[in-house]
Structure 1
Amino acid sequence: MLKGLIFDVDETLIYYEGYDHREWYEGWVLPELMRRGIELDYETYRKTVTGELPRTYVERFGVNAIEFWKLVDEVNLRYREEMARRGRIKVFPDVDALKELRDMGLKLAAVSNASQECVEFVLGLFDLRKHFEAVFGKDYSNLDGVKPSPYLVRKALKALRLEPDEAMVVGDSYHDVLAGKRAGVRVVNVTRFGRSEGADYYVKNLKELVGLVKGMLGTGAQSP
């Protein structure tokens, strides 16, 4: 029986107006790296994020991997704070679905590849933190434990005290799909920005997710 949901955060609950990954890296991160004598081109950085290269790969450039990612995350937090000041971090209008799901008695957790501070910051912006029993960002003790690794999903399952067959992962990306499936958890793909193959269920938005869950729990008609 379904007892809990594990949510992705960025592009599932909130989004960044005008965000471009390459522009963010070259405009915000790269200048900080170069000030420290580190030159890492965007494509190499991108591959460490997608999992094509391990996150420890940066040690080839003479930098400690943990220190490198902490620096990236510090810059990312400053970026988010600036975007918040400009009003460019937005919350999807259907996030009130979180309260509906909690009111059904479901346990909720959030997991993100961003740092704990970055995740807590954006959830706090829109008073969403209160909906989650557990929130997990990047774990510096396991740098390659970010999605698509199942590590964060398993941490959330443990925190919620749930077995894999009692939960579902909800996210927008293929990395969310892979992380959930590798943890033995069913996955709901929210297709706001396109469909990621391999999920168990597909919904257009979180309102449809509520309908899906009601159908599973037998508490109402399932959304088409």
Structure 2
Amino acid sequence: MLRGLIFDVDETLVYYEGYNLRRWYEEVGRPAMEKLGVVLDWETFRRIVKGELSRTYVERFGIGHVEFWKAMDRANRAYRERLLREGKIKPFPDVGALEELRKLGLKMGAVSNASQDNTELVLKAFGLDKYFDVIFGKDYRYLDGVKPNPYLIKKALNALGLKPEEVLIVGDSSNDVLAGKNAGIKTVNVVRFEKVPGADYYVKDLWELVEMVKNWSSHAPADR
């Protein structure tokens, strides 16, 4: 029986006009690294962010990895605050479906690879935080626990008091799909930009997700 949903945040619930990782690296990440006296070339930075290299990799340059990534997150905070002021971060037009999902009695969590404060920043900016029982950004105690690692998903699952078979992961990217599979949870790909291979279900928007959940509920066996 479906009892909960765990959502990705960026590019699933909100989007960033003109954003891509390479541009962020050039405009935000690289200048922040230069202040630390450490600069990762683009390909190394991309591989770390995509999970191909450990986030501890930066320690070979003589800096603690937690210190390094906290500095990146501070730079990202300033970047997000600027985009919010400029109106360049926006919620997708279907986020009103979150209220309908709450009405269905589901427990809901939000999980992001961004830091806790950066995740909360964008959710609170649009009043979306009120829909979630738990919100988790990356954990500085285990920085390699970001998606597709299942660590954050399992953390949300435990906080919600739910079992893997009672939950769906909802996201836009391959990281979301892989994190769900690694946690033993079925996944729903919201096809914002492209269809991600390997998801268990596909929806064109969150309203279609509402209809899917309602359809399941109407066919669920009564509790005995």
TM-score with structure 2 length normalisation?
0.96
| CA distance in 2: counterparts of 1:182 and 1:169, whole angstroms | 11
Deviation per CA, 1:77-113: give whole Å up to 9, x if none: 1000000010000100100111100000000000000
Query: SS at 2:189's partner residue?
Result: strand
Kindly indicate whether residue 78 of structure 2 is the aligned counterpart of residue 78 of structure 1: yes
Structure 1 range deviating more: 210-219 or 61-70: 210-219
- Which amino acid in 2 is paired with 1:128? L
- Which amino acid in 2 is paired with 1:56? T
Residue equivalent to 2:120: 120
- Structure 1 vs Structure 2 CA RMSD: 1.1
| CA distance in 2: counterparts of 1:54 and 1:190, whole angstroms | 28
Residue equivalent to 2:35: 35
| CA distance in 2: counterparts of 1:60 and 1:13, whole angstroms | 36
Kindly indicate whether residue 160 of structure 2 is the aligned counterpart of residue 160 of structure 1: yes
Query: SS at 1:53's partner residue?
Result: coil
Q: Shift in Å at residue 62 of structure 1?
A: 1.2
Residue equivalent to 1:193: 193
Unmatched segments (≥5 aa) in structure 2: 220-224
Deviation per CA, 1:32-78: give whole Å up to 9, x if none: 21122112111101100111111111111111000001000110110
| CA distance in 2: counterparts of 1:37 and 1:155, whole angstroms | 34
Residue equivalent to 1:144: 144
Residue equivalent to 1:105: 105
Matched ranges for 1:84-103 at <5 A = 84-103=84-103
Query: SS at 2:123's partner residue?
Result: helix
Residue equivalent to 1:215: 215
Deviation per CA, 1:146-197: give whole Å up to 9, x if none: 0000001101111110000000000000000000111111100011110111
Query: SS at 1:137's partner residue?
Result: strand
- Which amino acid in 2 is paired with 1:16? Y
Query: SS at 1:40's partner residue?
Result: coil
| CA distance in 1: counterparts of 2:24 and 2:38, whole angstroms | 17
Query: SS at 2:177's partner residue?
Result: helix
Q: Shift in Å at residue 21 of structure 1?
A: 1.1
TM-score with structure 1 length normalisation?
0.96
Shift >2 Å, 4+ stretches: none
Identical aligned residues as a percent? 60
Query: SS at 1:2's partner residue?
Result: coil
Structure 1 range deviating more: 118-127 or 56-65: 56-65
